[in-house]
């Protein structure tokens, strides 16, 4: 396939692996390798065979990435292009035959008990738009090798979720026990008996205060949550990395200590390359400020060009986005467009530009309401979590 | 099929056709017939075979209704349950092979010309959440016979649309001509040659001021607009009845007079039963204030019940929703939940209630920002447009 064929097809450009040069400002920017990654149709796993194959990069059966510009410009990411990252095989279709019969146990409350989704639905209704982003989103932009899918930008999406506020459930059950510092959620995947539970279970603890915004979600973008995305019931912790948004949630416990599961104790811990994971390292909880351009990619026509992309601040609203077409030497403020779906959602930013023929390095830099500015580069970390540097999130654009 | 089977299946209750009684307040309310309308799976037309068959009532190949409670609680209505009402057969799949090549002619501007969608996309980007509602939504709630699908509540949905602001296009082309009073959009369906164009063409004029909010939409809920919903390009006139949101838009003209097409001159005109349509009658332009309950329907368990539904004010924001469980004798204020997607979107309202066993008549009454209150009943009109009365939008609920 030659380059012009590629350009006509859906593609995205990765900003990694290029030669680093010094811009006039002294900034180290990635020069853009002409690496386009086309979606690979035809091998969607059966539990996700309803996805749009043209929009998905299939890394493995359990890791499907969204093509960079397939998230669209409408704030909400359509279910059929939403990325998937499952730690374990999803449960069978049986779990959604009678969604309201799904049972969840609540522990660490004054009156612990098991409730069905049908019962839970009488306790409250809340809708929140939030980004779900895999901790490893951007892994493919680091230089070092790290296990896990080499995501670029596409392990993130923004959806509108509806469900039952966790705080309403806690209140119904008499409140969380004294001393509780964490909310610990356990997934309902079937575990092989021969393996130690802690080695494999999807169980994550988040600080108790995250409960205030958390919902037990039964709807995703207006549809019953698909199994591929954690249906019938998913714990949604707005503004937190994907792993904390436990799918097929079976147990919610308010605990004094964090879970003893491996993915809590040593997994999802940020540490220098080569170090083992340990509880004293930062956990992948709330997300950091980040943005990236989704248009134009690769090539465009000279004249007026709308440069646009998405930006978010994790648990803080994003307040400002600057755009550079020269790899970070100069910046111009972009404007937000579209409805503001709240602080956990991303916003679409737009900058109209007049571009002469030539080569451009286009990138964006977001600032959140607390003054946190998107970093220029992301320090290597052992598991290559969340590359958020504007240098390698840049795209190379040839204007003809 | 017995009643208990019905209750376990997806269904909705129609509020029409029941015996009218006088409530204590003297209000005439519809008593709720035990008529459940199940979705009829299996016969989705090919252009819409990706819809969820369980969520659709298939009136005809071109009229598919959303089951009352399948719109969900997340503000956005998922594409796969969104209703369809097409006046003509949709064009073939070819029109979406190269979406950016789709051409639109602009007339009634200083510099009229044809532009491709690719060109249009350089002019601006705007996202708007709006309800699309068929003029005939609620037709099945009137007593009199009228041609058209007997929709109940399900010819309405709320989606997030992205596209090019029409005002930016007009500006690019030198502005609309002096004296222009209407924006007239023409659909791109293929017309049979033997029929007079005006008799069949989908062409609608709206007051010029509607241009301010109108967009040429290429995305619906984050996905390229499906053919079934007017893709590759649909005129979206936020807050206006569905017919004005012309699909497959091929021509946009700024005109002194309204279109001479039948659907403008005599169609979509509100007039007494038995009268012919004429230009001096009100046209189905901006929508009126309306709301309806989507939960509970039919039967529910005693104790705490969340009563919820949707409410909107057309081009005005909806400000208040009251809920009655006794057919309009007494009312209680509900609260809105979920993000506010702007004045053209609907809002989800919720009222927690404690219900003893018995029979209830549950309905809602919305008020918009201009003080317009949802009507109690809708006067019969020839084509049975937009039944918005809270009397027959009521649902009968048996609490056990």
* CB neighbour list of residue B103: distance below 8 Å, 6 or more residues apart: B114, B115, B116, B117, B250
Q: How confident is the model at residue A82 (pLDDT cuts 50, 70, 90)?
A: very high
Q: Do residues B211 and B339 share a domain? A: no
Higher pLDDT, B267 or B40: B267
Q: What is the DSSP string of B237-284?
A: -TTB-GGGS-SSEEEEEEESS---SHHHHTTTB---TTPPP-TTSPBS
3-class secondary structure, B223: strand
- A302 shares contact with chain B (CB less than 8 Å): no
Note down the domain range covering A167: 85-265
Q: Do residues B331 and B378 share a domain? A: yes
**Helix (H) or strand (E) segment spanning residue A304:** strand A303-312
Choose among A73, A126, A160: nearest Cβ to B219.
Answer: A73
CB contact under 8 A, B127 and A81: no
Look-up of token digits 């020069």: A31
Q: Above 70 in pLDDT, residue A10?
A: no
- B161 shares contact with chain A (CB less than 8 Å): yes
Distances (CA, A) of B98 to A154, A258, A301: 24, 52, 17
Distance, CA of A88 to CA of A261 (rounded, Å): 14
Assess contact for B153 and B214: CB atoms under 8 A. no
What is the residue-averaged pLDDT of chain A? 91
Max CA separation in chain A (angstroms): 68
* Nearest residue in chain A measured CA to CA from B347: A127
Assess contact for A243 and A284: CB atoms under 8 A. yes
CB contact under 8 A, A81 and B162: no
CB burial readout A341-357, b (16+ within 10 A) else e: bbbbbbbbbbbebebee
CB contact under 8 A, B126 and A337: yes
* Test mutation, B172, B222, B231, chain A, max A CBs within 10 A: B222
CB contact under 8 A, B223 and A122: no
Q: Measured between beta carbons, which residues in chain A are less than 8 angstroms from residue B221?
A: 74, 76, 78, 221
Q: Which residues pair with A165 in a beta bridge?
A: A215
Q: Above 70 in pLDDT, residue B68?
A: yes
Q: Which of B232, B265, B298 is the last residue of a domain?
A: B265
From A72, A12, A79, select the one nearest A348 (Cα to Cα). A72
Q: Do residues B246 and B135 share a domain? A: yes
Phi-psi region of B268 (alpha: psi -120 to 50; beta: other; left: phi over 0): left
End-to-end CA distance of chain A: 21
Amino acid B39: pLDDT: 54
Distance, CA of B271 to CA of B288 (rounded, Å): 16
* CB neighbour list of residue A280: distance below 8 Å, 6 or more residues apart: none
Amino acid A17: pLDDT: 33
Q: Do residues B209 and B333 share a domain? A: no
Q: Do residues B335 and B226 share a domain? A: no
Q: Which residues pair with B351 in a beta bridge?
A: B307
Residue A238 lies in a domain: yes
Distance, CA of A76 to CA of A101 (rounded, Å): 29
From A218, A187, A188, A205, select the one nearest A124 (Cα to Cα). A218
- A350 shares contact with chain B (CB less than 8 Å): yes
Amino acid B42: pLDDT: 53
Least confident among A42-51, A197-206, A327-336: A42-51
- The C-alpha of A230 sits at a distance from chain B's nearest C-alpha, in angstroms, of 17
Distance, CA of A257 to CA of B51 (rounded, Å): 46
From A162, A152, A216, select the one nearest A389 (Cα to Cα). A152
Q: Measured between beta carbons, which residues in chain B are less than 8 angstroms from residue A124?
A: 306, 352
Distance, CA of A220 to CA of A384 (rounded, Å): 29
Query: What average pLDDT does range A380-386 have in this prediction?
Result: 97
* CB neighbour list of residue B92: distance below 8 Å, 6 or more residues apart: none
Distance, CA of B13 to CA of A159 (rounded, Å): 30
Q: Measured between beta carbons, which residues in chain A are less than 8 angstroms from residue B345?
A: 339
Distances (CA, A) of A30 to A391, A394, B161: 6, 7, 35
Question: Phi/psi of residue A306, each to 5°?
Answer: -90, 120
* Nearest residue in chain A measured CA to CA from B343: A339
- The C-alpha of B306 sits at a distance from chain A's nearest C-alpha, in angstroms, of 6
Q: Measured between beta carbons, which residues in chain A are less than 8 angstroms from residue B339?
A: 127-129, 160, 339, 341-342, 345
* Test mutation, B154, B221, B399, chain A, max A CBs within 10 A: B221
Look-up of token digits 């296990």: A147
CB contact under 8 A, A348 and B222: no
Residue A5 lies in a domain: no
Q: Among positive and negative, which fits the CA dihedral A54, A60, A62, A67?
A: negative
What is the residue-averaged pLDDT of chain B? 91
Query: What average pLDDT does range B2-15 have in this prediction?
Result: 32
Q: Among positive and negative, which fits the CA dihedral B89, B92, B93, B96?
A: negative
Q: How confident is the model at residue A43 (pLDDT cuts 50, 70, 90)?
A: confident
Residue A61 lies in a domain: no
Q: Do residues B118 and B248 share a domain? A: yes
Q: Do residues B317 and B204 share a domain? A: no
Residue A240 lies in a domain: yes
* Nearest residue in chain A measured CA to CA from B157: A222
Choose among A74, A122, A219: nearest Cβ to B162.
Answer: A74
Query: For residue A237, what is the DSSP state?
Result: -
From A36, A90, A38, select the one nearest A63 (Cα to Cα). A90
* CB neighbour list of residue A382: distance below 8 Å, 6 or more residues apart: A146, A270, A271, A272, A273, A274, A275, A277
Question: Phi/psi of residue A314, each to 5°?
Answer: 75, -110
Tokens describing residue A266: 């040593």
Residue B213 lies in a domain: yes
pLDDT, tens digit, for every residue of B97-130?
Answer: 999 999 999 999 999 999 999 999 999 999 999 9
Choose among A127, A342, A345: nearest Cβ to B73.
Answer: A127
Distances (CA, A) of B341 to A221, A313, A362, B223, B292: 13, 20, 30, 18, 18
Query: For residue A38, what is the DSSP state?
Result: -
Q: Measured between beta carbons, which residues in chain A are less than 8 angstroms from residue B74?
A: 127, 160-162, 219-222
Distance, CA of B173 to CA of B180 (rounded, Å): 14
Q: Do residues B231 and B141 share a domain? A: yes
Residue B8 lies in a domain: no
Q: Measured between beta carbons, which residues in chain B are less than 8 angstroms from residue A75?
A: 127, 160, 222
Q: Do residues B206 and B133 share a domain? A: yes
pLDDT, tens digit, for every residue of B197-251?
Answer: 999 999 999 999 999 999 999 999 999 999 999 999 999 999 999 999 999 999 9
Amino acid A90: pLDDT: 95
- A8 shares contact with chain B (CB less than 8 Å): no
- A75 shares contact with chain B (CB less than 8 Å): yes
- B117 shares contact with chain A (CB less than 8 Å): no
Amino acid B43: pLDDT: 87
Q: Among positive and negative, which fits the CA dihedral B293, B290, B344, B48?
A: positive
CB contact under 8 A, B125 and A341: no
Assess contact for A351 and A307: CB atoms under 8 A. yes
Distance, CA of B262 to CA of B197 (rounded, Å): 9
Amino acid B109: pLDDT: 98
CATH number at residue B346: 2.60.40.650
CB contact under 8 A, B339 and A220: no
Give me the torsion for CA of A366, A372, A375, A378, rounded to 10°: -120
Q: Do residues B92 and B205 share a domain? A: yes
Q: Do residues B231 and B354 share a domain? A: no
Choose among B125, B221, B350: nearest Cβ to A125.
Answer: B350
pLDDT, tens digit, for every residue of B145-184?
Answer: 999 999 999 999 999 999 999 999 999 999 999 999 999 9
Percent of chain A with pLDDT over 70: 90
Q: Above 60 in pLDDT, residue B32?
A: no
Tokens describing residue A363: 């990138």
Give me the torsion for CA of B197, B200, B202, B208, rounded to 10°: 60
Q: How confident is the model at residue A60 (pLDDT cuts 50, 70, 90)?
A: very high
- A308 shares contact with chain B (CB less than 8 Å): yes
End-to-end CA distance of chain B: 20
Choose among B161, B221, B306: nearest Cβ to A221.
Answer: B221
Count helices and strands in chain B by DSSP H and E runs: 5, 24
Q: Measured between beta carbons, which residues in chain A are less than 8 angstroms from residue B72?
A: 162, 219, 222-224
Amino acid A39: pLDDT: 54
Q: Above 80 in pLDDT, residue B37?
A: no
Least confident among A15-24, A49-58, A79-88, B84-93: A15-24
- The C-alpha of B126 sits at a distance from chain A's nearest C-alpha, in angstroms, of 6
- A121 shares contact with chain B (CB less than 8 Å): yes
| A-to-B residue pairs, Cβ atoms closer than 8 angstroms | 126
- Sheet containing strand B303-312, edge to edge, reads B290-295, B303-312, B347-355, B335-337
CB contact under 8 A, B74 and A219: yes
Q: What is the ipTM of this complex?
A: 0.89
CB contact under 8 A, B76 and A78: no
Tokens describing residue A356: 């002469």
Phi-psi region of A388 (alpha: psi -120 to 50; beta: other; left: phi over 0): alpha
Amino acid B264: pLDDT: 98
Amino acid B40: pLDDT: 53
Tokens describing residue B308: 């919820």
Residue A300 lies in a domain: no
Q: How many domains does chain B have?
A: 2
CATH number at residue B134: 3.90.420.10
Q: Measured between beta carbons, which residues in chain A are less than 8 angstroms from residue B350?
A: 125
Q: Do residues B223 and B113 share a domain? A: yes
- What count of Cα atoms within 13 Å lies in the side-chain half-sphere of residue B370? 10
Q: Above 90 in pLDDT, residue B253?
A: yes
From A186, A239, A232, select the one nearest A214 (Cα to Cα). A239
Residues in chain A: 400
Q: Among positive and negative, which fits the CA dihedral B286, B351, B33, B374?
A: negative
pLDDT, tens digit, for every residue of A169-202?
Answer: 999 999 999 999 999 999 999 999 999 999 999 9
Choose among B121, B124, B127: nearest Cβ to A75.
Answer: B127
Residue B258 lies in a domain: yes
Distance, CA of B298 to CA of B207 (rounded, Å): 42
- B115 shares contact with chain A (CB less than 8 Å): no
């Amino acid at each position: 396939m030659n380059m012009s064929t590629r350009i006509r097809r859906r593609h995205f450009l990765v900003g990694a692996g290029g030669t680093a040069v010094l811009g006039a400002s002294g900034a180290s920017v990635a020069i853009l390798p002409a690496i386009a990654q086309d979606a690979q149709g035809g091998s969607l796993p059966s539990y996700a065979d309803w996805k749009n194959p043209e929009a998905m990069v299939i890394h493995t059966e359990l890791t499907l990435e969204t093509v960079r510009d397939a998230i669209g410009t409408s704030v909400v990411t359509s279910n059929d292009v939403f990325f998937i990252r499952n730690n374990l095989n999803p449960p069978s279709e049986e779990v959604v035959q009678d969604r309201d019969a799904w049972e969840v146990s609540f522990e660490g409350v004054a009156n612990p008990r098991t409730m069905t989704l049908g019962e839970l639905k009488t306790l409250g209704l809340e809708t929140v738009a939030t980004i779900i982003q895999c901790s490893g989103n951007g892994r493919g932009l680091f230089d070092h090798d790290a296990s896990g899918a080499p995501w670029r930008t596409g392990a993130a999406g923004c959806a509108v979720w509806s469900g039952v506020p966790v705080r309403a459930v806690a209140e119904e059950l008499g409140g969380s026990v004294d001393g509780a510092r964490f909310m610990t959620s356990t997934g309902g995947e079937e575990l092989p008996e021969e393996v130690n539970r802690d080695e494999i279970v999807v169980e994550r603890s988040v600080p108790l205060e995250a409960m205030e915004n958390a919902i037990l979600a039964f709807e995703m973008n207006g549809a019953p949550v698909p199994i591929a995305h954690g249906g019938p019931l998913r714990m949604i912790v707005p503004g937190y990395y994907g792993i904390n948004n436990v799918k097929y949630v079976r147990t919610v416990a308010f605990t004094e200590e964090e879970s003893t599961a491996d993915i809590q104790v040593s997994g999802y811990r940020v540490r220098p390359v080569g170090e083992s994971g340990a509880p004293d390292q930062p956990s992948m909880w709330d997300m950091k400020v980040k943005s990236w351009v989704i248009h134009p990619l690769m090539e465009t026509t000279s004249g007026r060009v709308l440069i646009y992309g998405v930006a978010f601040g994790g648990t803080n609203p994003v307040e400002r986005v600057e755009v550079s077409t020269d790899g970070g030497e100069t910046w111009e403020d972009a404007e937000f467009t579209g409805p503001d779906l709240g602080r956990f959602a991303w916003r679409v930013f737009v900058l109209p530009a007049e571009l002469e023929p030539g080569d451009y390095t286009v990138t964006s830099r977001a600032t959140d309401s607390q003054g946190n500015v998107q970093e220029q580069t992301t320090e290597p970390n052992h598991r290559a979590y969340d590359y958020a540097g504007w240098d390698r999130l840049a795209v190379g654009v040839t204007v003809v």
